[in-house]
Structure formats: structure tokens, C-alpha cells
Structure 1
Amino acid sequence: MSQREKEISGKIAELDKEKKILEGTRAYYEQNLSYAELEEITGISIREFKRFQSDNEFPYRVGSYNKQAIFDKIQNRINAIEAEIVKLRESVFGALDQLLFIPSWQTMIDSSFNGFYLNQPVQKIFQDTVILLPELAMTGFEETTGEPYFLITGLGMYWVKFELGAGSIVTDYREITGIVLPLDIYHRAQDEAEQVLKSENMRMTEYMTSIPFSLILAKSTTQMYLRGVISRNIFHPYKESFDQFMKLCKDPNSFNPDEGLKILSGGLTSDKSFYGNELLTEKPLGEYSRLIAGIKNTQPKLNKILENLQLETMSEALFEKLVKIKIEFSEIGRNYLIDWMPGHIS
């Protein structure tokens, strides 16, 4: 970590602590807690709370006459702190926010489809991972049934390792610019799945892991612990896919705006009207459209989803942001991952 990053990390830690004290102060008033109870809940000393109240002119207790004004004061400061933290992180990472990793696309969408490759049936899939640098996330509704789905756009890749015939092991990939899922599948992956790790710094379930780049600004003890968890569960067992993703992001010809968005669609709505386990594009793309293991087909059907989300005129603007993410990942994020996990990413 550079000196500048250390300074920003220290400032963020100070702001996080102030936010925690503010939230504790609000709980102190709302729940009529004692200072001892507050210390036990937050881990912040009674002396610090009293000094904070005194320095910021918070009363010992609130009544009906000043309660709302005090709560507004607390919330306004929390909002300001959160905005300042965002600016500090953006000063280091720019458009980079997090790395989204799905260890098995088939497992997450509950599919057993192996598919075909070079006109041959795929015998077995060993790994089918998705790596994504998210940019935009939003909920839409299927036009016919009204069922909700969740779209995440970003810079990404679908990577698969599989067997063709006896002993013929093949790897291949497709660049993608997002994923779209029925909302129930997304919630299952995020909220209902077994939690491998859940902390204030990152979240890892059996189906999906979000690794914020701001981890590089976390305190060293936190980083050391999370490095071990991420290394064991992600970077080491899925090294091949990360190596390919690094190469893809360095390729000057990758993620060509002229080809439009390419969204990996998973799962079906109740009436099977949603595009299940397909690559959706804005236009026919020739070689990109050839079959790949684990995916049923590639269809130029993406415009319908973009229209439903009122994004049909925003494809160019979305791609401008994706290009920025690609540049910043190549210049900043890639090096962070290499430094953070030496020996696991080339």
C-alpha cells in the first residue's frame, strides 16, 4: 500500500468510527440505553461517547421538543460521512467498485445442461465460472407476466472447462457485458445461499462472491484474514479462469463497442417466457455466436430487455462506462489483485 493509500485508509477508518458513534448515539436516544449498554453493544468506550456528545453539542437525553431535530442532525452527518467515503474510494479506484465472482453458473441457475461444442456433445463440465466488474444494477419486469428480473451490467467473462469424448479436456470463454437473472434466483444466490463468509468488508456465498476493491484500504489484520479466505475459496481453485480474464482485459480488441452489449441470461420465469441460460446480444455476431459448453445458444434478443428497462437508447453510454472500467482495471485493479494475491494470478 502506497503512502497516499495509507493516508486515505486512515481517513476512511476515522470516518467509519465516527459513523459508528453516530449510529450508537441514535440507538442511545431511541432505546434509552445506558452508557454501559452502549459500550457493550458498540465496543466504543463510555469516555469516547461522552466526549463526542460534548464536542458536538448533543444533549444527555432528548425529549419530544428536540427529538426530530437531533435525529435529523445525526442522519445528515451520517449521509455526509458516507458521501465523503465514496469520494475517497473513488479517488483511488475511479470507476472500479468490486469484482463479482460466480464459481459455477450452472449450479447458481440450477441447470444440468452440458450442451454441444464443435458439433460434439459435451460429456462433463468441470468448471463454469463468471467474473464480472459491475457497473450498473437494476430491476426490470418481464413484459408478458410481469415477473421481476435483475440486470447487472459490467465488464466480464463466462469461462468453462469441460470434457469432449474420453479424456479430451477443453477450455473456452465468452466475453460478456453483464448478467440477467429472474429476481428469485438472484435473491437465492445473495440472501438464501449458505454463507461462506459474511463480514462488513465483503460477502461470500456458495453461489456468488463480491470482492470490493476498497479491501486494499482495510486495516492489515482484516486484509490478512480475507486474503486467506479468498485465496482458498476463489483465486487458487479458479486460477485458470482469472488468468484468462486478465488476458481478456489487456486485449485491445476485447469489449468492442461496435458489437454492442452481450448479456448472459440465466433461469426461467414460471411460464418459461424468460430467456433461460442463453447469451443475449443486440445483433448477430458471427463467430461469437458459436455454441459453447453449458450455454444453450446465443440469440440477438437483448433489445427487448433493454426496452423493458428503458435502456434501449443507453447502450452507447453504458459502453463508455465499461471502457472506462476496462482502462482502470488494466491500470489499477489488475495490479491490486496481483499484489494482493501473489502466486495465484499471473
Structure 2
Amino acid sequence: MPISGSYQHHSIQNIKNDIVIFFGGKECSISTVNGYLHSLFGLGYYYTKFEIQSQNYITDHRELTGLILSDFVYDHLATSDSVAFQDDAEVIFTDLVVKVPLNLSHKSDTKKTFIKGTLMRNLFIPYKDIFLEMMNYIKKSDSYQIKNDGVMVLNADWNIFNKILISKRMQDSKKNKFINPTAGITQIEVGVDRYLQNIFSPSEIIEIEEKVKKLKEIFTSIELDPTYLFSLIENTSKHLPTPPINSEEYQKSSPYKKSILISAGSRLNEYKAWPLKLEADIEKDYTSKVKVEYENKNKFNVQIEEDSLKNNNMESFSTPKEGDFILRSMRPNIVKEKKLPEPSINTIDDILDYLIKVINEDYDMPTLGRAFEIAHQKLLKIVLYVDYMWEMSKLANIYKKKNPNLGLSEKEKENLLRKIYDWKTKTKNGQLKVGQKLKEER
């Protein structure tokens, strides 16, 4: 898989770091025809450390004043695995994102000490040089001059993915250097003015620019102890007017999803999967988050890209040939053949639980096909029909024809589990069309 970006006409061999530090001032979530866009504006800093030749590391950075994330990117971050603060809705620390509010005054002394120690050990000490570099950059007179240079947005929109959009207002002396390719970013191009005008009103764009200008003034004046970077939070909180904590907002939580942005609170119980068309271009580590007990899952509204659930993906799948490129999350697992467990099935819920158990225990595809066949036969004894009966039979036929010892890929396993959880939810909520047998039993 090629690594995004280039540097001075050289291909990037390896990226060691590519992180974004962002001091947010204004956030907004916007509903569009494609889904939600989640935006954050303020002072940002994209930092990357990479090599173009073996053992020859180079660092580069780009100034940012905005982040725009499509719903599937936001949800990928919001459902990443917690590293610390699992029970704290305000302070978030996962393997992909860290969020720390500036106002910690309402926390107990014990809690504040714990937060301080954890952030020092796991954030400020490991990334000390990057934080200091950013703070020194903010103090430069020509940085974050939004009135002259316009907004600079790192964009993860559906159609403008992994690009930095800049303004036509940017001074040529700055633009000529800024648009040079860098590691981890697909492209840097002019176009943010029209993009923002399609999303925000003129008054909202002015408000964004005023907020960035104010943050530039505040952070330029902040004194920072380079040996104690938690002073960044302590000193900033003295300068920024912090709105009162809305306890109702912060009490909104889910065991599956963090509330990174307050404006995204309405989507706390939704999940938008990563589109397969982007997975073809982006290799990312994937961990299934569906392997949970149904009783803890029934209030979690999972949204899947329609293409990811189409059976033709399963039908067209075959054993990869030597030299074929397949993402790790889409590569089938090699598993041993083993005997199916004896089903104890009396209800539709029992049938679906049986399928979930078999999928989670990693049987090969022909055995999985037999499990779907058993489930279909048992279903026929309980009910004349349900909406997914034909689909269950089709899946049985598809998987029975697959090669022995070939298990589901992580991606296919996730999609299949979500499909069955969706069947369970519809059954539980009475949303399915059912035949006479089930009605008589009721």
C-alpha cells in the first residue's frame, strides 16, 4: 500500500509520526445529503516525521485553522479504544484521539491530580518537542493571520478526503511554500473559500475568522513552562472565557462511543461505517467493535454503507491469488475445520443468537453456510416467513460453496454480525413482516 504524500519529488518510505494538535474555539455539526460533517475551528498544527531514505528522518508541518470530518471519520475516532479515563465523559484519551477541556475546576483535587499525571506521562512528555514547536510557531508574527491568509482546513469530507484546502487570499510568499507536498497528506490546494460558502453563512464565516484571530492573540501571550507542559492547560484557562459546564451534555455517554464534540451529541447512538471505496485507498488497522452481548447493544443504532452489506461482495469473493493485494481487514483468515455446536433453538431470538455465536467462534465458510442452513430450517418451523428468510437461505448457499479452511475476513465478519444484530433489533421492536405461525404462537 503506497504511503500518502511526497516530499521534494521523493517518495515517502515511512511515516513515523503524523499528528494534529488543535486548540479548538468553535465547533459545529452539519447535516448534508451525504450525512453529517463535524467541524472544529481554532489554532491547529499538522506535524509529520518521515523518511525518504533509510535512516534519514525529516520533519515537516502545516498550519491549520479548521478540521472538517465526515461522519464515518468522526465515528472511527469516537469508537476507538480507550487508553485512560474510561469513566470520564469530558476527558477523552483513546488510541486515536485525546480531548482535554480547559476548565477542570469542577473536578475534585484527586481527579485533577490523576488527569494531570496521566496526561504528563502519556501526552506531554512523549510529544513535548512537538507542543513546544507549535507554541513557538504561534508566537511568530506571520502565523495564523487569518484576515490575510484565510482559513486552512484539513478536510476528511467524502469527496475531498485527506486534503488541506487553503484560501485564494493567502499571500503568494506563504502559498508557494505551503502547497508543497508533504507526508501523510494527499494534496494541498486552493478552494476553501467556495467550500465553506456552501456550508456556512457569511456571518458564520466572519465569526469563525474572529474566533481564530482571538485565539491567536491569547495563545501568543501565554507563558509556558517547558519542563511542565500541563501549565499549557492551567495558564490557558486563565485567559479564555470558559462557558459553564452543561451537565446534561456531558452526561450523554455510550459504552461504544465517546462524545468528542458536544455538537455531535445527537449522533451518540449512531455509527457510520468507513466506506469501502475509501478502504481501497487507505490501509488502516481495524478492530471489530460488534462482538458484544446483544442486551448491551440493542440501543446502539448502527448505520452501514449500503454497498458493504450487499451479498454480491460475498458471492464474488474467492481465495486470494499470490500477489493479490487485499487490506488486512478484508483478508480472509485461515481456520481449522471444526464441528458445529448443537443448536438449542426455540425462538427466533435463539436462532439469531446461534448464528452470532458461530460467527464469533471463527468457523470456516462452508461450516458457516451449514449453520445458516440449520438456522433457516429451524426458522421455517417457527414462522411461515420473515423479511430476512430468503436472505438467510441465500447466505447459506453462498458460504457452503466456499473453500474449506477459509474463514471470514474481519470486515466481512463485522458486516455479517451487524446484519444479524439488525435482524434482532427489528424482531425485538416488531418491525418485521411475519407469517401466520408466529402470530398464532403469540
Q: TM-score, normalised by structure 2?
A: 0.47
Give distance in 2, aligned partners of 1:306 and 1:174. 20
The structure 1 residue matched to 2:61, chosen from 163, 173, 180, is 173
Of Structure 1 and Structure 2, which has the larger fraction of its residues in helix?
1
Give distance in 2, aligned partners of 1:146 and 1:342. 41
Structure 1 contact 159–241 (Cα < 8 Å) conserved: yes
Change (3 A) 1:337 1:312: farther
3-state secondary structure, aligned to 1:324: helix
Give distance in 2, aligned partners of 1:216 and 1:231. 18
Kindly state the Cα deviation for residue 141 of structure 1 after the two structures are TM-superposed.
4.6
Which residue in 2 is equivalent to 1:161?
Answer: 49
3-state secondary structure, aligned to 1:277: strand
Which residue in 2 is equivalent to 1:5?
Answer: none
Q: Does 1:324 align with 2:209?
A: no
Which residue in 1 is equivalent to 2:312?
Answer: none
Q: Which runs of 4+ in 1 moved over 4 A?
A: 336-340
> Structure 1 unaligned runs (5+)?
1-110
Which residue in 2 is equivalent to 1:120?
Answer: 10
Higher relative contact order (CA 8 A, sep 6+): 1
Which residue in 2 is equivalent to 1:252?
Answer: 141
Change (3 A) 1:221 1:330: farther
Structure 2 contact 224–231 (Cα < 8 Å) conserved: no
Change (3 A) 1:235 1:216: farther
Q: Does 1:187 align with 2:72?
A: no
Of Structure 1 and Structure 2, which has the larger fraction of its residues in strand?
1
Matches within 5 A, 1:1-346: 113-142=3-32, 145-190=33-78, 192-196=79-83, 197-198=85-86, 199-215=88-104, 218-257=107-146, 258-266=148-156, 269=158, 274-283=159-168, 285-312=175-202, 314-332=204-222, 335=224, 339=228, 341=230
Give distance in 2, aligned partners of 1:254 and 1:218. 34
Query: Kindly, what percent of the aligned residue pairs are identical?
Result: 24
Give distance in 2, aligned partners of 1:119 and 1:222. 49
Q: Deviations over 1:24-48 (max 9, x none)?
A: xxxxxxxxxxxxxxxxxxxxxxxxx
3-state secondary structure, aligned to 2:224: helix
Kindly state the Cα deviation for residue 123 of structure 1 after the two structures are TM-superposed.
0.6
3-state secondary structure, aligned to 1:160: strand
AA matched with 1:166: S
AA matched with 1:237: P
Give distance in 2, aligned partners of 1:246 and 1:154. 14
Give distance in 2, aligned partners of 1:324 and 1:244. 20
Which residue in 2 is equivalent to 1:73?
Answer: none
Give distance in 1, aligned partners of 2:201 and 2:144. 19
Structure 1 contact 278–296 (Cα < 8 Å) conserved: yes
Give distance in 1, aligned partners of 2:201 and 2:95. 31
Which residue in 2 is equivalent to 1:106?
Answer: none
Give distance in 1, aligned partners of 2:199 and 2:225. 34
Kindly state the Cα deviation for residue 331 of structure 1 after the two structures are TM-superposed.
2.8
Give distance in 2, aligned partners of 1:125 and 1:113. 8
Structure 2 contact 15–51 (Cα < 8 Å) conserved: yes
AA matched with 1:234: L
> Structure 2 unaligned runs (5+)?
233-442
Which residue in 2 is equivalent to 1:31?
Answer: none
Structure 2 contact 3–13 (Cα < 8 Å) conserved: no
AA matched with 1:303: D
Q: Deviations over 1:6-63 (max 9, x none)?
A: xxxxxxxxxxxxxxxxxxxxxxxxxxxxxxxxxxxxxxxxxxxxxxxxxxxxxxxxxx
AA matched with 1:125: I
Kindly state the Cα deviation for residue 201 of structure 1 after the two structures are TM-superposed.
4.7
Structure 2 contact 23–42 (Cα < 8 Å) conserved: yes
Give distance in 2, aligned partners of 1:171 and 1:290. 14
Kindly state the Cα deviation for residue 278 of structure 1 after the two structures are TM-superposed.
0.4
Q: Deviations over 1:256-279 (max 9, x none)?
A: 12110000012x53xxxx201000
Kindly state the Cα deviation for residue 336 of structure 1 after the two structures are TM-superposed.
7.8
Give distance in 2, aligned partners of 1:154 and 1:182. 18
Give distance in 1, aligned partners of 2:89 and 2:30. 28
Which residue in 2 is equivalent to 1:102?
Answer: none
Kindly state the Cα deviation for residue 288 of structure 1 after the two structures are TM-superposed.
1.0
Kindly state the Cα deviation for residue 177 of structure 1 after the two structures are TM-superposed.
0.2
Structure 1 contact 127–161 (Cα < 8 Å) conserved: yes
Q: TM-score, normalised by structure 1?
A: 0.59
Which is greater in Rg?
Answer: 2
Q: Deviations over 1:79-137 (max 9, x none)?
A: xxxxxxxxxxxxxxxxxxxxxxxxxxxxxxxx973320011011100011101111121
3-state secondary structure, aligned to 1:212: coil
Structure 1 contact 179–264 (Cα < 8 Å) conserved: yes
Change (3 A) 1:300 1:213: same
AA matched with 1:194: D
Give distance in 1, aligned partners of 2:200 and 2:42. 17
